Amino acid sequence: MLKAIYKDVFCNTFNQSCYVFLCGGGEKEHIRNKVNALLKKEQFQILYPEELFMEMLNRDKKSDLLEYENLLADNSDIICIICESIGSAVELGAFIQNENIKKKMVVAVNQKYARDKSFVMMGPVKNLKKTNEESIVFFKKDDLSELCRSLSKVFRKLHKKSVSNKNQSFDNLSAYIAFIPMVVYFYQTISRRTLHKNLKIFLKEREQDCFPARYNELFNASIKYLIKSGTLITEFSIEEKDETLSLSLKGYEETLGQIKRSSTSNRIPSIFNIRKKRRLSATNKTILHDRIRCAILKEQLNM
């Protein structure tokens, strides 16, 4: 079932999503939180690096955030830094030295500092400007709507250039965040333990020698994000000592929207014994999705 969902739904929608790691001030009053809300309305998937990687850091006491630079680069389409705190300035200085991150970076700087001879402006910002002048966005603090319009424009340009090279492998977090709600959508409810086990079996078969080394951390971080973002609802069973996962109304609507955008060039999977290749109309897509659900129900009844 996971193979059918992956091949016939996920692979036709994943490249359309744009995952943005948004760095900036951590306090509620900081610009990052306001920009986050506005960008989500533009259909960008906004992630906070420290929220997702903190669990990994807590598990490995010897690691630090800088060690997760490459993981950050692998797990994002765009890394946007809003320079509004000491922490974001440090991130900018560190990330600009990593070529994998640098090519995905967008930096937002307050207009009033545009002519400053500071280290930030003369160092990291000037360096990034040489690579891509459009990656530097200036803003006025009292006009965040204009900032979001400018960021959206840059994000879409960068994403359009990189989409052909987008990695659909499960060694990146965004794949889990996109795939798991689709699985829950078709199953309606599924235990966290069962999802973890079955996805692991599927990936071992698919990835073979490239099975993700950080599978447990990536799986747990994605579940944490999906719950916190309001996509998933969990109900803990004391008897089973496990969580049951289901989609919230918001999660259902977002996932259904993703599924509806699946490519019309897809063919009905071979597990349903339909050999003839054809372009899927809206009706045939519905048939495909109904058959996946029926196959899942049959699988559950035979257990």
Summarised one tens digit per residue, pLDDT across range 36-66 is: 989 988 888 888 877 777 766 676 667 666 6
Can you read off the two tokens belonging to residue 161?
């250039």
Other beta carbons within 10 angstroms of residue 267's beta carbon come to 16
User: Could you read off the pLDDT of 200-214 as tens digits, one per residue?
Assistant: 999 988 766 678 878
pLDDT at 182: 93
Residue 198: pLDDT over 90: yes
| Rounded Cα–Cα distance for residues 214 and 192 (Å) | 17
- Whether 220 and 232 have beta carbons less than 8 Å apart is answered as no
Q: Domains plus CATH for the chain?
A: 2-11+168-301 (1.10.10.10), 17-165 (3.40.50)
Burial 159-172 (b: 16+ CB within 10 A, else e): beebeeebeeebbb
Locate all alpha helices (DSSP H) within the chain, ordered by sequence: 2-8, 31-41, 49-59, 69-74, 86-95, 99-102, 119-120, 126-131, 144-162, 173-187, 192-207, 215-228, 249-260, 282-301
Q: How far apart are CA 90 and CA 66, in angstroms?
A: 11
Q: Which of 27, 292, 84 is nearest to 184 (CA)?
A: 292
Residues 6+ positions from 199 with CB-CB distance below 8 Å: 2, 180, 183, 219
- Residue 188 clears pLDDT 70, i.e. is over it: yes
Which of the listed ranges 27-31, 173-177, 277-281, 288-292 does the model predict with the highest average pLDDT?
173-177
In the chain, pLDDT over 70 holds for what percent of residues?
Answer: 79
When pLDDT is cut at 50, 70 and 90, the band that residue 154 belongs to is very high
User: How high is the pLDDT of residue 286?
Assistant: 57
Give which of 83, 84, 100 is closest to 92, Cα–Cα.
83
The answer to whether the beta carbons of residues 35 and 29 sit under 8 Å apart is: no
- For residue 166, pLDDT over 60 is answered with yes
Least confident of 25-39, 138-152, 281-295: 281-295
Q: pLDDT-derived band of residue 262, with 50, 70 and 90 as boundaries?
A: low
Question: What is the per-residue pLDDT for 210?
Answer: 76
> In degrees to the nearest 10, what's the CA dihedral of 23, 24, 28, 31?
-110
Confirm if 205 and 160 have CB atoms less than 8 A apart: no
Residues 231-240: what's their mean pLDDT? 87
Q: How confident is the model at residue 86 (pLDDT cuts 50, 70, 90)?
A: confident
Measured CA to CA, the distance from residue 9 to residue 219 in angstroms comes to: 20
Output the CA angle 104-108-112, nearest 5 degrees.
155
Contact 208, 281 (CB under 8 A): no
Q: Residue 242's closest CA among 183, 206, 194?
A: 194
Is the pTM value of this prediction over 0.85? no
Least confident window among 62-71, 93-102, 218-227 = 62-71
What DSSP state is assigned to residue 169?
S
- Predicted confidence band at 276 (pLDDT cuts at 50, 70, 90)? very low
If you average pLDDT over every residue of the chain, what do you get?
A: 81
Q: SS in 3 state form for 252-272?
A: HHHHHHHHHCCCCCCCCCHHH
* 98-132 pLDDT per residue, tens: 888 888 999 999 999 888 888 889 999 999 988 88
pLDDT at 82: 93
Radius of gyration for the alpha carbons in the chain, expressed in angstroms and rounded: 21
